[in-house]
Amino acid sequence: MKILFMGTPDIAASCLSALLDAGEQVVAAVTQADRPKGRGYTLTPPPVKVLAAERGIPVYQPDTLRSEEFSALLAEIDPDLIAVVAYGKILPKNVLNYPRYGCINVHASLLPKYRGAAPIQRAIMEGERETGVTTMFMAEGLDTGDMLLSESFAIEKNDDFGTVHDRMAALGGRLLCETVTLLRKGKAVRVPQDEARSTYAKKIEKADCHLDLTKSAAVLDPYIRGLSPVPLSFVRRENGKMLKIARAEVREGRGVPGTVLAVDDGKKGGILVACGEGALLFTEIVPEGKGRMRAADYVRGRQIQVGEVLS
């Protein structure tokens, strides 16, 4: 089975690696363009491009999938199956209909919940206690195709986007390989999605990251974890500077929301901030213009005082 792989970020690279390690015939990889990253805006290739190049897989980075050039490339590659993992662009109808085994997708949620761009983050932010991976046939709608395989796992109390993402990557690679095997053997079972249960996980915007401290600490805790280690939630200090929150704990406390109730430079210390109900102890932070640090070290440097109101 000749497989064309389409994907871009780390989770896609993990799935591509799983296919290759399983001995599948991946004939080419399509990924998005190199992007500038870091303070120096260095042009950086996406993880799928790096991995494919290391493993000797031809890599293509088309500006669009709707051009005659890509149609000609698709005919030249002539895949039996297209496997898609977080590619980042919608596949047009002619691409969806090309391979005889169809186009399959690895989606990082238990469909039909959390269709869309940010399923991992949104599931954690909304306090879900479990999530998982679903493989599916791709259709013209957004993550609406018939499901093939799915497997769930618990979101633990201290899980954040980083830990759940890594678990997703490993599980996604395994389920993708199992799905390919079922398709090859003609044993894949299509399960239509229940539209009545569908939800949408919209892309994370900067406005989503600004913590509303009038909400309860219990609500804000999973919100912080869902945005850590990237892009990170944040508050504003009285001087207007941004203070990003990498890790926090729910604690007892009462006061005007946003008020710094206590500061502690001890090993298990940090910055205790009043919320609409209860309080949050910020234990790891990223001050504006600086790197990630323990909040206790920030306190030790006398960077913040009791009584300051964060917005």
For residues 279 and 164, membership in a common domain is answered with no
Q: What's the pLDDT score for residue 141? A: 87
For residues 169 and 78, membership in a common domain is answered with yes
Query: Is residue 305, in this structure, part of any structural domain at all?
Result: no
What is the number of domains present in the chain?
A: 2
* Cβ-contact 296, 269 below 8 angstroms: yes
- Give, to the nearest 10 degrees, the angle between helix 161-185 and helix 10-21: 40
Residue bearing tokens 């932010």: 125
Query: Is residue 311, in this structure, part of any structural domain at all?
Result: no
Q: What's the pLDDT score for residue 243? A: 97
Q: What's the pLDDT score for residue 10? A: 97
Q: What's the pLDDT score for residue 178? A: 98
* Cβ-contact 222, 129 below 8 angstroms: no
CATH of the domain at 280: 3.10.25.10
Q: What's the pLDDT score for residue 198? A: 97
Q: What's the pLDDT score for residue 303? A: 85
* Tens of pLDDT, residues 246-304: 999 999 999 999 999 999 999 889 999 999 999 999 999 999 999 999 999 999 988 89
For residues 141 and 279, membership in a common domain is answered with no
Query: Is residue 221, in this structure, part of any structural domain at all?
Result: yes
Structure tokens at 168: 């997703």
* Tens of pLDDT, residues 204-255: 999 999 999 999 999 999 999 999 999 999 999 999 999 999 999 999 999 9
Residues of the domain holding 154: 2-197
Q: What's the pLDDT score for residue 39? A: 72
For residues 229 and 291, membership in a common domain is answered with yes
Give the model's confidence band at 38: pLDDT under 50 very low, under 70 low, under 90 confident, else very high: confident
Residues with Cβ within 8 Å of residue 235, at least 6 apart in sequence = 210, 211, 213, 242, 243, 245, 258, 273, 310, 311
For residues 16 and 140, membership in a common domain is answered with yes
For residues 76 and 142, membership in a common domain is answered with yes
Q: What's the pLDDT score for residue 284? A: 98
HEC string of 222-275 equals HHHHHCCCCCCEEEECCCCCEEEEEEEEEECCCCCCCEEEEEECCCCCEEEEEC
Torsion, Cα 8 230 158 290, to 10 degrees, reads 150
Query: Is residue 308, in this structure, part of any structural domain at all?
Result: no
For residues 118 and 222, membership in a common domain is answered with no
Length of the chain: 311
Domain boundary among 171, 197, 223: 197
Residue 40 has pLDDT above 90, yes or no: no
Domain boundary among 164, 180, 197: 197
Q: What's the pLDDT score for residue 21? A: 98
